[in-house]
Amino acid sequence: MAENLNPFEIVQQQISEAAKYLNLDPAIEAVLREPKRVLTVTFPVKMDDGTTRVFTGIRAQHNDAIGPYKGGIRFHPDVTVDEVKALAMWMTFKCGVVGLPYGGGKGGVICNPKELSQGELERISRGYIEGIAAIIGPDQDIPAPDVYTNAQIMAWMMDEYSRLQGTNQFGVMTGKPIIVGGSLGRDKATAQGCVFVVIKAAEKLGLDLNGATVAIQGYGNAGSQAAFLLDKLGCKVVAVSDSRGGIYNEEGLELEALYQHKTATRSCINFPGSQPLTNAELLELPVDILIPAALENQITAENAARVKARIVAEAANGPTTPEASRILYENGTTVIPDILANAGGVTVSYFEWVQNLMNYYWSEEEVYEKLQVNMFKAFAQVYATSQEHQVDLRTAAFIVAIKRVADAIKIRGIV
């Protein structure tokens, strides 16, 4: 029987699995299995050639028992309602596992940014925010960058929301440029958070990172930054890939030259001194650390048994399916789940929001010190929970996060 890869059903399955260990009230589980609100908007955009196209945008808000909704906005041709709902739910638990006062939200616009000019991207960004403005705000829902969105897009969105409100509202978005309320360290936060938990996982396994081999699927912002950070720790990055394919060199890739090549060609393929390989082949390389930093459902029941890495650190959202997770756990692979491994981004987004509210800004060193404390503490709690219940780190992370949200729901009297 084929594995069900619907992301919304996957996260519901993950909730039910963790709920068993908590003896969770069925009413609370029912609340957590569905988003509180999903808004779909359509909006016209004048294109550069003078034509008008109508775009569809989505914003899902899962649960706000602990605090405002928080989660990214992606621009992608394959955005679906179920995907956005699932990602909003994962955000609730991601915030819960690292102890942030947020619930989960997520948004998306169905478009292909690679086919759009800067002007078209700006008009889409502003049109989308005008459509969802009634349900977002610094105390209600704070979006951030995600797949194919960036600091510039966040600046346009913040500006559009501010225009609609008639006053500057820097705190409505995170991941902004520094000059308009962004936080130092935000651009590397996801990668740095991931590396912090890799350090702790390696300690538990007795893995010496000096000389450890690494493969990274998804050589974008998080993937490339993780490569540099791991290289500084003495790791050897032997393979990376992007949407066009991958490259491999068992002696290790020259990362600075690779970064220049990627910047110049917009892909890592055809990098001198490397051999080509597919995204699928990269996942099965005999490396110590595998970092899936691309899209969902990359490690599945079909290929999980061939994954040879000792540590899989999920920098992407939902890269491993439930059946694949079970196979990896049974095979002794340590999977640091997405809601923990890539929580550095939302943690520093929280720091940015706090700085916006205070109108007082921290140094990059302060940001990373606070991030390290949060990530180390979260990993320790998840690891201890996994030992207590004899479960994998993913189930443990959901147990930690769901208990926190469930406690808030009960205390508030929502259920």
Residues that are catalytic: 106
Which has the closest alpha carbon to 58: 93, 8, 14?
8
With 0-12 CB in 10 A as exposed, 13-18 as middle and 19+ as buried, what is 278?
Answer: exposed
Are 101 and 66 within 8 A, CB to CB? Answer: yes
Q: Which two tokens stand for residue 201?
A: 């996982």
User: Which residues, in sequence order, are CB contacts of 178 under 8 Å at separation 6+?
Assistant: 184
Total Cβ atoms within 10 A of residue 6 = 14
**Taking the CB of residue 306, how many other CB atoms lie within 10 A of it?**
14
Tell me whether strands 311-313 and 334-336 are parallel, antiparallel or unpaired.
Answer: parallel
Tokens representing 118?
């800067």
Which is it for the CA torsion 187, 189, 195, 199, positive or negative?
positive
CB 341 within 8 A of CB 194: yes
